[in-house]
Structure 1
Amino acid sequence: MIISIYALNNGMIRVVQQSLLGSILSNMLLVLGCAFFTGGIVHCNKDQVFNKAAAVVNSGLLLMAVMGLMFPAVLHFTHSELHYGRSELALSRFSSCIMLVAYAGYLFFQLKSQHELYKPIGEEEVANENDSDDEEASEITQWEAISWLAVLTVWVSILSGYLVDAIQGASESMNMPVAFISVILLPIVGNAAEHASAIMFAMKDKLDITLGVAIGSSTQISMFVVIIWA
């Protein structure tokens, strides 16, 4: 998202569109695939499980996002709109409003209404056992985590500016299309922390968190970020 802001400031709208699309594909295919692969290798003697309800909700939202983005595109390329230009814009705005409302409902569903559905499988048993040896001790406090997050966000924003400025030059020097850099390389670099955390949680047999990082990030981009920047 930070890279998209800098790219928009530089007038690189096509790069923003391609990088957002690449982020969705990267999270759904590369990150999730690597997480399942590494988790399966580490826990080869057991079946890893995850919460079905959370996965179904995210899958439904992703399907809704595909339909919401596809309908205006189909109307544009088929030239079947009743009022040229206006019908496509009206449908796009209507779809955007519906998707934003659906995303707000998803947040309410996850945080307030049915938050117990998002508890990782086995969490209740661990809580009832009161086995302190199995609990992971916190390495840093809450405020330390917030401070580090703020510092790293500022640092990433600074580096993102240099990264966006170097896209065109890198494309010419390496004889590489800008589309390839935007769809493949930028999402991998920009979402490196998410990639690493998803794989790490899968190796710790916490697939619910892995799915939340990978699929949840794709849901957020498709239902919220794309709508805002579009």
Structure 2
Amino acid sequence: MSKINDKAHKMLTPHPQVEMGSIDDRQDCDSEEEILVISSPVIRKSHGSEASSNGPFPIFSHTWISKRSRNRVFTSIYIVLIKAKINLLLPCGPLAILLHYLTGKHGWVFFFSSLGITPLAERLGYATEQLAFYTGPTVGGLLNATFGNATEMIISIYALKQGMIRVVQQSLLGSILSNMLLVLGCAFLSGGLVFCNKDQVFNKAAAVVNSGLLLMAVMGILFPAVLHFTHTEVHFGKSELALSRFSSCIMLFAYVSYLYFQLKSHQNLPNSVNEEDDGHEEDSDDEEVPEITQWETMCWLAILTLWISVLSGYLVDAIQGASESLNVPVAFISVILLPIVGNAAEHASAIMFAMKDKLDITLGVAIGSSTQISMFVIPFCVVVGWCMGKPMDLNFQLFETATLFITVLVVAFMLQEGTANYFKGLMLILCYLIVAASFFVHVDPTSNDD
């Protein structure tokens, strides 16, 4: 009886830490105490000393971290592979591989592999832009130089391995022509139609620097061709190769100097046109933040580059068969069709910036990409071919060299005024159509023809 009275006395006596309140409040407190008393032995048994010091929080923190990491992975996959509308073309890559092994029809393999590489090239440019947020402008410029034209470089290296030197030369030449005529022309045309009541203005000094580098590239490509076709070599077939390798090293040095000039000593050169508007644009357009983390960006760069490498192998293998099945010259496929695949990202971004009246960025995308290919990618391929033992040189034949020379002159005259409108864009597009028609009826000569 005494134990029952003591227990009743404890139940009627309020807890010292609980204030007097309603009967419901006291019942809630008692129920919570019972739950804690019942669950505490389990916690002490399972966690030991950790439970006595931290309680059940390590369980919740570990679960929360793992859940957050899974959500981060799903978010990154959504941003890179699902969010952009161009990713609807991603299944074309696996479809091209299936067609290669099931049907062997090179025309369809070439078509679907081209469609599959297009979104990968655009996503590779996006990942490079995201990584530039963490590396700064100097390293970001180097990343844009390497990954911006990674698709062309990968296709060229695969073609070099198979000894398809003419395909390498023509595809790189086509990338320059596509950027300078088609991409820049569409950008000028779309921007001129949006701002039809005025001429758009860009930095003429930066355009002159790029034009000078393009003319230097034309000089490096022109001399081996002239040396070969005028039969003025000391050692026929060897002198032009030695000259090409020497000129390639000089062009690579010039491009590195250009990067230092643009990113270090003259950083304000591309931004000197609209200095009055910079303060207004910083509040609205320049407040961009990265959407994925640095490690995620590096992982995506590796994944996208590997997948582009795989598809490029099937694309290069299908070029000759596609030319025969479609009755289209290999020169037309290499100069016109392949560069459109590799320049998908540049094409879209150049038009977008032109419609926002940011022609300095448009020129950096279109003309800057042409400068990268002519002064970096082409000499790089010559050096890689040198290491592979392949006779890759700068002799692009007379027809291709003359086309490049005339194109650089036309674009240089278009840029000398520092203004752009829809008529200039239309002229550049029409010039590209003439070039495309010329390569459609052009028969690529053999290596022995002079």
Map of 1:58 onto structure 2: 210
Counterpart selection for 1:146 from 297, 316, 321: 297
Structure 1 residues 124-158: Cα deviation after superposition (integer angstroms, max 9, x where no partner): 334445873x3355374363783555544343333
Name the amino acid aligned to 1:195.
H
59-68 vs 144-153, which moves further: 144-153
Match of 1:80, SS?
coil
Q: 1:18-167 counterparts in 2 under 5 A?
A: 18-119=170-271, 121-122=273-274, 124-129=275-280, 132=283, 134-135=284-285, 137-138=287-288, 140-141=290-291, 143=293, 146=297, 149-167=301-319
CA distance in 2, matches of 1:119, 1:175: 48
1:58 and 1:216 in contact (8 A); partners too:
yes
Structure 1 residues 4-59: Cα deviation after superposition (integer angstroms, max 9, x where no partner): 12222232221111101111111111111111001101111232111111101000
Q: TM (normalized to structure 1)?
A: 0.89
203-212 vs 78-87, which moves further: 78-87
- Closer/same/farther in 2, CA of residues 33 and 138 from structure 1, 3 Å limit: same
CA distance in 1, matches of 2:357, 2:336: 28
The percentage of aligned residue pairs carrying the same residue is 75
Q: Which has the larger radius of gyration?
A: 2
2:337 pairs with 1:185? yes
CA distance in 1, matches of 2:170, 2:184: 20
- Closer/same/farther in 2, CA of residues 115 and 151 from structure 1, 3 Å limit: same
Q: TM (normalized to structure 2)?
A: 0.47
CA distance in 1, matches of 2:255, 2:185: 25
2:377 pairs with 1:219? no
What are structure 2's unaligned runs of at least 5 residues? 1-152, 383-450
Map of 1:198 onto structure 2: 350
What are structure 1's unaligned runs of at least 5 residues? none
Structure 1 residues 61-96: Cα deviation after superposition (integer angstroms, max 9, x where no partner): 000110111111111110113344444334323322
Superposition RMSD in Å = 2.2
1:24 and 1:222 in contact (8 A); partners too:
yes
Match of 1:115, SS?
coil
Aligned length: 228
Counterpart selection for 1:174 from 326, 346, 351: 326
Structure 1 residues 90-138: Cα deviation after superposition (integer angstroms, max 9, x where no partner): 432332222122111101101111111122632x334445873x33553
- Closer/same/farther in 2, CA of residues 94 and 160 from structure 1, 3 Å limit: closer
173-182 vs 163-172, which moves further: 163-172
Map of 2:361 onto structure 1: 209
- Closer/same/farther in 2, CA of residues 187 and 129 from structure 1, 3 Å limit: closer
Higher relative contact order (CA 8 A, sep 6+): 1
CA distance in 2, matches of 1:125, 1:61: 29
